[in-house]
Amino acid sequence: MHVAVLLHEAVDALAVKGDGIYVDGTFGRGGHSREVLARLEAAGRLIAFDRDPAAIAAGRSNDDPRLTLVHAPFSELSAVLDQLGIDGVDGVLLDLGVSSPQFDDVGRGMSFRFDAPLDMRMDTSRGQTAASFLAEASVGQITEVLKKYGEERFAYSIAKAVAVARTGGGVATTGQLAEIVEKAVRTREPGQHPATRSFQALRIFINQELEELNRVLPVCVERLRPGGRLVVISFHSLEDRIVKRFMRDEASPPRLPPRLPVKAADLPRPRLTLVGRARRPCVDEVANNPRARSAVMRVAERCNGRREKTA
């Protein structure tokens, strides 16, 4: 069962208006969406995205007319809003990463806790599986993925070991990959499985998670109405780094060459205002839901004034 992280804190941060229009970019099993719907009036509306067909199927049981479920990555937000005839929204919530049902479903191949087909796709209806990538990629490509998305120190050693394993029949299951990595990694942080970083890296790469995040953040700002809130919950440093830098840059005046004769009043206004500091789950939430321990929530608000079009 998926437990929504920072449930009340995240929806509080959206500052839900009864008749507002909101986006839940990561429906999952609907925890955040249900809380948003509970605060909306009859005139309110919620558009919820998810890449996972299983999440969309689970959400079909909710026949609330205010809820529109969309089977698509959140990077398609702008196109979907256009199709729905929606210009601006009052808030966007992004709860990044993988949901508990995806981790715990043996057939998804997200975890080394089970020996299962090495799939790792969030959207099982399209795209390349992790097994397919490892069967075709060069040692250099695998090394780059493990370094870039997993910050894995032993990326090259693991990539070479995968290449050797392919000569004996390939790497088709999570158990096979975990065993290969375990033999190739010489040391690891206490309490962490040797394959943790490799599995994270492959999952992020296969689903293009960081690229999707980089694409959607500017779109969220463009679509937010003045006073609308952007709330993002991240679960590892690569995600949070992107969110932090994006919000910081959007909340800062443009950087100009020194001594340029421009008055501060003439500079373009920042599009965002930061709302509070980064927030983490409390001790009680982490005790009840250990998967929440790495979560970081950041919030920003769209500044007043005319919305500028992004390039």
Instruction: From 81, 74, 40, select the one nearest 214 (Cα to Cα).
Output: 74
**pLDDT for 262 beyond 70:** no
Confidence of residue 259 (pLDDT cuts 50, 70, 90): low
Residue that wins the pLDDT comparison between 158 and 265: 158
Cα–Cα distance, 159 to 298 (Å, whole number)? 35
pLDDT per residue as tens digits for the range 23-48:
999 998 889 999 999 999 999 999 99
Confidence of residue 309 (pLDDT cuts 50, 70, 90): very low
Cα–Cα distance, 10 to 15 (Å, whole number)? 9
pLDDT score recorded for residue 265: 57
Across 38-66, average pLDDT = 94
Q: Which amino acid is at 113?
A: R
pLDDT score recorded for residue 290: 87
pLDDT score recorded for residue 110: 84
C-beta separation of 279 from 295 below 8 A: no
pLDDT per residue as tens digits for the range 271-306:
999 999 999 999 999 999 888 889 999 999 999 744
Structure tokens at 141: 């490509």
**How many of the other CB atoms lie within 10 Å of CB of 36?**
25
pLDDT per residue as tens digits for the range 186-221:
777 777 889 999 999 999 999 999 999 999 999 999
Q: Which amino acid is at 254?
A: P
Cα–Cα distance, 129 to 177 (Å, whole number)? 14
C-beta separation of 254 from 267 below 8 A: yes
Instruction: From 51, 52, 46, select the one nearest 23 (Cα to Cα).
Output: 46
pLDDT per residue as tens digits for the range 80-132:
999 999 999 999 999 998 877 777 777 788 888 889 999 999 998 999 999 99
Structure tokens at 180: 């290969």
pLDDT score recorded for residue 1: 58
